[in-house]
Structure formats: structure tokens, C-alpha cells
């Protein structure tokens, strides 16, 4: 066999890749597992999506290649939603691109922009394709830590000046996974000005735009003046509509970047299943009806988890958005060690902060993907395990 490429060989392990196997082993030993690791909720998708998919599956033309154009009605539904939701008009044919989930778009776009030696700026911690895409394109990564003291906003001043002349891409994600931070409007305006000044394309990942609480409404970066000159934004139906497995996402924004990603994908894939795009139309049109009810469920879970984890002794910040809590690990234990120990001792799977980059070490992430009661149960177990360690004993299931 030939050797694997250096870029491939130096990819880090994907976060949580070994979790399903470990969970199976623990279940076989009789442990009751509560999985708060992946951002993959246990809730149902909108009935409108299911109905539309059923109907589409019965139509022969939906079984043909979608190619990059896809279903015109999906592009039009995206444009309609961007206008309705953000007041951002986009041309459905030149400023919208259907994606097979937003992840592939985020991971593919570096191949259109980066040569070896070019620079991508990424948040640390950050969603793994922000690292994986540029790394596989043999570009240089400049990882900027997201610091609690700076409200987890990527500080543009921390980007080394000598790297800026080679920088072409900046990944940003607010509401943020994993920290749950949100970006104020004036920060987004500064990002736009910065990218324009340095001729950088901003890749704005807005996967959590609809999961927000307490009256907060996350913006689209495209709302702000000048954004369209240097930004494309990635959206996903995965989190908003409990449709992670359906793989429906889209990119919107700068025409030339959308064109580049379209051409790139022509060589990579033949587009998102047309039946899924038909379901996407029905889903986006169910937005007004579905989202508030779904958010109310997440909000109840958030409140239960915040209360129970605070009572268990953790320092919990109440998130304004996302399906995550981002919590410092007491006692300075590394995040991998802590999460492994907690899983083995209590059956609760938490996400180690360091799995999203060095900047995430010292934290763990809780996903609000199970009921409020299960979250309370998980918090009690984890709290007991931590209390037992700090008093020199062992966790109750240890």
C-alpha cells in the first residue's frame, strides 16, 4: 500500500469518534448511559418535513441527480427565509447554494481558496472542519484562542500581523459551539471592516441562529453593511429542526465565493437529494410555527441543567443561545481525563473541551439533547462523582 499523505497522517483524531464503542461496552456492563456528548437532540423533526419527504419519495424525478442547481424551489425558499428572518434579500441562483449539511461546505471551501502556505484563521476551540479543511488543503492554520475574559469572541488583534498578509479565510461561529457565546452587532461590524482591510473571506457559520433564548435573536452577518463583499454564511436545518441526519444545509452570501464553492463541489458531489430539498422547502416554511415551540423545549432543558449543575457545585453561565453549556472543570483536571473518568464512573457522556482545540482544555460541554429529568439525573451523578473525588473518595458508581 502507498503511504498516506502527510496532511492525512497528521489529522488529529476526530472528537468522540471512539464514544459509540465505549458506550456499547459500558451498556453491556449494565451502566445506564446518559449521552450529553454530541449536539444531536432526541426531539422529532417538523411533521411538515416528514410529509414532504414522503411525497417526494414517491415522485420519480426526485430520484435523479440534484447536481449543484438542486431544486429551484429550495433556493427560492432559502431566499424567502433570509428575507423574512433577517431582512436580507439574496438572489436564489447566484447567492445561495444547497449543501449536503453545512459541514461539507465548511470543510470543502478551503480547497477553492488556499494554496500551501496560505493562512486560514480559526477559533480555538472550534468546530473540527474549520481545522480539517484547511489542514487537508496543506494551508497554515492560525488558531486564535477564545478566552472567557473576552466573552469567547475571537480577538482580531491577537492574529499575528506577520500572518495577515497570507491570510485568506477567517472562520467564525456565533452563536458559538462549543462556548455558547454570542456576538454583539458592533463586533460583527468590526469583523467585516477587518476582512475588507485585509482582503479576507469571512466564513460565518450560523448553524445555531434559531436556538436562542430569553428574547435574544441572533443576527445574520449579512445584515450588516458591506458584509456581502467578503462573507459567506453557512446555515443548517440540523439543529433548528432536529434534522441532523437529513443533511440539509445551505450557504448564502458573496456571489463569487458561492460561485467558487459551487464549481468546487461539481467535482466532489452531485448535490443534495432532491427529496431532502423538497422537505427543506416545507421545513423552512414551517419556521414560524415550529421554532418557538422547539426552542421552548430547549429552554426548559437549559434551565433544568443550569439549576441542577449549579446546585451540584459547577460554575455555570446561562447561555443565551445554542444547545450547549460550557463549564469550567473544577480542580484543574484536563478535559479528556475528566470526561473519561466521569463516563466510566457515572455513565454520563460529556464533551471534553480540548477535543475542539487546545483552547478548550479546562472546560467540558453539556449538550441539551435529553429531557429535563435526565439532565437533572446526569447533573446529580456528575456532582456526586466530583464531590467524591474532592473529598478523596471515589464516584458512587466507581
Ligand X SMILES: Cc1ncc(COP(=O)(O)O)c(C=O)c1O
From the list 244, 299, 317, 371, which residue makes contact with ligand X (rule: CB under 6 A)?
244
Binding residues among 120-159 for ligand X as defined by CB under 6 A:
127
Q: Which residues pair with 282 in a beta bridge?
A: none
Which grid cell sits at 292? 418557538
- Tell me which stretch binds ligand X (CB under 6 A): 99-107, 256-264, 326-334, 388-396: 99-107
What are the distances in angstroms from CA 24 to CA 67, 99, 370? 38, 32, 18
Interface with ligand X includes 39 (CB under 6 A)? Answer: yes
Interface with ligand X includes 103 (CB under 6 A)? Answer: yes
From the list 68, 102, 209, 220, which residue makes contact with ligand X (rule: CB under 6 A)?
102
Q: Which of 323, 233, 246 has its CA nearest to residue 283?
A: 246
Interface with ligand X includes 173 (CB under 6 A)? Answer: yes
Question: 16 or 69, CB closer to ligand X?
Answer: 16
Interface with ligand X includes 101 (CB under 6 A)? Answer: yes
- Least Å distance, CB 102 to ligand X, is 4
In the block, residue with C-alpha cell 432559502: 78
Q: From CA 309, how far away is CA 328, in angstroms rounded? A: 12
From the list 68, 209, 236, 346, which residue makes contact with ligand X (rule: CB under 6 A)?
236
Query: Which alpha helices (H) appear in the chain, and where do they start and end?
Result: 6-9, 19-28, 47-57, 72-86, 102-108, 110-113, 129-136, 161-164, 185-198, 255-266, 274-285, 287-311, 335-346, 372-390
Binding residues among 255-314 for ligand X as defined by CB under 6 A:
none
For residues 359 and 145, the answer to whether their CB atoms sit within 8 Å is yes
Q: Which of 148, 145, 166 has its CA nearest to residue 156?
A: 145
Binding residues among 202-231 for ligand X as defined by CB under 6 A:
205, 207
- Tell me which stretch binds ligand X (CB under 6 A): 43-51, 82-90, 97-105, 183-191: 97-105
Size of the site for ligand X (CB under 6 A): 13
- Least Å distance, CB 274 to ligand X, is 18
- The binding site for ligand X (CB under 6 A) comprises 39, 101-103, 127, 173, 177, 205, 207, 236, 238, 244, 249
Amino acid at each position: 500500500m502507498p503511504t498516506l499523505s502527510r496532511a492525512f497522517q497528521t489529522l488529529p483524531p476526530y472528537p468522540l469518534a471512539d464514544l459509540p464503542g465505549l458506550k456499547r461496552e459500558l451498556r453491556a456492563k449494565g451502566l445506564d448511559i446518559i449521552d450529553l456528548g454530541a449536539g444531536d437532540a432526541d426531539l422529532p423533526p417538523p411533521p411538515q418535513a416528514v410529509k414532504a419527504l414522503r411525497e417526494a419519495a414517491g415522485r420519480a424525478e426526485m430520484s435523479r441527480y440534484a447536481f449543484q442547481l438542486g431544486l429551484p424551489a429550495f433556493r427560492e425558499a432559502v431566499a424567502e427565509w433570509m428575507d423574512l428572518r433577517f431582512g436580507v434579500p439574496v438572489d436564489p441562483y447566484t447567492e445561495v447554494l444547497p449543501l449536503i449539511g453545512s459541514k461539507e461546505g465548511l470543510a470543502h471551501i478551503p480547497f477553492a481558496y488556499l494554496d500551501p502556505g496560505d493562512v486560514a484563521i480559526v477559533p480555538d476551540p472550534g468546530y473540527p472542519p474549520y481545522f480539517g479543511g484547511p489542514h487537508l488543503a496543506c494551508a497554515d492554520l492560525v488558531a486564535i484562542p477564545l478566552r472567557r475574559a473576552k466573552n469567547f469572541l475571537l480577538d482580531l488583534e491577537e492574529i499575528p500581523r506577520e500572518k495577515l498578509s497570507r491570510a485568506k479565510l477567517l472562520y467564525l461561529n456565533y452563536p458559538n459551539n462549543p462556548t455558547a457565546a454570542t456576538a454583539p452587532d458592533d463586533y460583527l461590524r468590526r469583523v467585516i471592516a477587518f476582512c475588507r482591510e485585509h482582503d479576507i473571506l469571512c466564513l460565518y457559520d450560523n448553524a445555531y441562529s434559531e436556538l436562542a433564548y430569553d428574547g435574544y435573536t441572533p443576527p445574520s452577518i449579512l445584515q450588516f453593511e458591506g458584509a456581502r463583499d467578503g462573507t459567506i454564511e453557512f446555515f443548517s436545518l440540523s439543529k433548528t429542526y432536529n434534522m441532523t441526519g437529513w443533511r440539509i444545509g445551505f450557504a448564502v452570501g458573496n456571489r463569487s465565493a458561492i460561485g467558487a464553492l459551487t464549481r468546487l463541489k461539481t467535482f466532489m458531489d452531485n448535490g443534495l437529494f432532491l427529496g431532502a430539498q423538497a422537505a427543506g422547502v416545507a421545513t423552512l416554511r414551517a419556521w414560524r410555527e415550529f421554532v418557538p415551540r422547539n426552542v421552548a423545549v430547549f429552554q426548559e432543558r437549559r434551565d433544568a441543567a443550569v439549576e441542577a449543575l449549579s446546585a451540584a457545585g459547577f460554575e455555570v453561565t446561562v447561555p443565551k443561545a445554542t444547545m450547549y453549556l460550557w463549564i469550567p472543570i473544577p480542580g484543574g483536571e484536563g478535559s479528556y481525563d475528566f470526561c473519561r473518568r466521569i463516563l466510566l464512573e457515572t455513565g454520563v457522556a460529556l464533551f471534553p473541551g480540548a477535543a475542539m482545540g487546545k483552547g478548550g482544555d479546562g472546560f467540558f460541554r453539556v449538550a441539551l439533547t435529553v429531557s429535563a429529568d435526565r439532565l437533572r439525573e446526569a447533573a446529580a451523578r456528575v456532582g456526586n462523582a466530583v464531590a467524591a473525588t474532592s473529598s478523596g473518595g471515589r464516584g458512587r458508581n466507581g
